[in-house]
Amino acid sequence: MSRPVTQDRPGPDAADKRRGRRTRRIIVSLAVLVAVLVAADFGLAAFAEHTVSQKARQQLSLADDPSVTIHGFPFTTQAIGGDYGHISLSASGVPIKDLKDVGVSAELYNVQAPLSDLLKGNTKAIDVGKLDAQVTIKASDINKVDPLTKIEDLRIDPSSISYVQTGQDEATGSDATTTTQNAQQQDKSKAGVRLSGNVQIAGQKLEIFCFALIELHGTAIDIVPTRLQYGNDKETTVVPQAVQKALLPNFKATIDTGNLPFKVTPTAVQVNPGSVTIKGEAENVNFSGATSGG
């Protein structure tokens, strides 16, 4: 008698292989979906950043779009709620009053911006809960302010207030320009500065070092010269009092920054190598207030 024919059944290894292939397909599909969602999120964020950048360019009268970064991930959840925790903006070449090459950077926190208005570029609908801003003025711009125009090749470096006033630093007895000493000068309405450049004295060109205070008064900064030295970086000589009296007015100036962007209230002045930075803050402002002062 012949035995009945039986169909071979797949072994456990074949079933495991099929399950493994299905699992891999699911994982690949999920990975593709996540990649698409992430790409879409970054694309939407980039579009929103570009829109804000273009509006800021118009309001700040810039030649190029400023840099705008919307922090936080995912962007989509922030956009749906219209609530952004942190946005950064920075621009160079901003014209403010008579200054033509001002650098502006701002950190915006607790920003409320409905997605529909943001995509339409309606900056009047963008409200900022808190804003920290910096305005940096280069030495080349400061050199265009009278009477500093009489100083050839004006250079700016930080110094301690004590050295400006007495010629000696309280701690070391030397010119205080180190990072540690500069940190002590930050976030205050007054700072020490060393201005240097060439001036004509009795028909001769001499390099003069002026030690002065920079004082913040509203939206203006006053340069108040205290004393002069001449020579070079390695060795200087105190200018005689009679000559100082005649030359010091050439270093006394007021720089009006006009109305700062975002209606920022200046709170501190800081001297950097080659520039002066005004720091300020504001609360509950509208993004449309980013216009530079005239």
Residue 171 lies in a domain: yes
pLDDT of residue 185: 46
**Element at 196 (helix H, strand E):** strand 190-201
Q: Which structural domain, as residue segments, surrounds residue 60?
A: 44-125
Q: How far is CA 134 from the centre of its chain?
A: 5
DSSP string, 19-80: HHHHHHHHHHHHHHHHHHHHHHHHHHHHHHHHHHHHHHHHHHT-SSPPEEEE-SS-HHHHHH
In this structure, the answer to whether residues 268 and 167 fall within a common structural domain is yes
**Whole-number pLDDT of residue 174:** 47
| Same domain flag for 175 and 203 | yes
Amino acid 32: pLDDT? 67
What residues contact 66, with CB distance under 8 A and at least 6 apart?
53, 56, 57, 60, 89, 90, 91, 104
Judgement on whether residues 74 and 169 belong to the same structural domain of the protein: no
Asked whether residue 52 falls in the same domain as residue 150, the answer is: no
- Asked whether residue 227 is domain-assigned, the answer is yes
pLDDT tens-place values along the chain, 294 residues long = 555 555 555 555 666 666 666 777 777 666 666 666 666 666 777 777 777 787 778 777 777 788 888 888 787 787 888 888 888 988 888 887 778 888 888 898 998 888 777 767 677 778 888 888 888 999 999 998 889 988 889 999 999 998 888 877 655 444 545 444 444 444 478 999 999 988 876 677 778 889 999 998 888 889 999 988 876 555 567 777 777 888 888 889 998 877 677 777 788 999 999 999 988 888 888 877 666 555
Do 255 and 162 lie in a common domain?
yes
Q: CB-side exposure of 94: number of CA atoms within 13 Å? A: 31
Domain annotation covers residue 290: no
Examine the domain organization and report whether 161 and 117 are in the same domain. Answer: no
Residue 155 sits in the same domain as residue 110: no
Residue 48 belongs to some domain of the structure: yes
- The structural domain count of the chain equals 2
User: Both 258 and 150 in a single domain?
Assistant: yes
Examine residue 30 and state whether it is found in any structural domain, yes or no. Answer: no
Residue finishing a domain among 71, 91, 125: 125
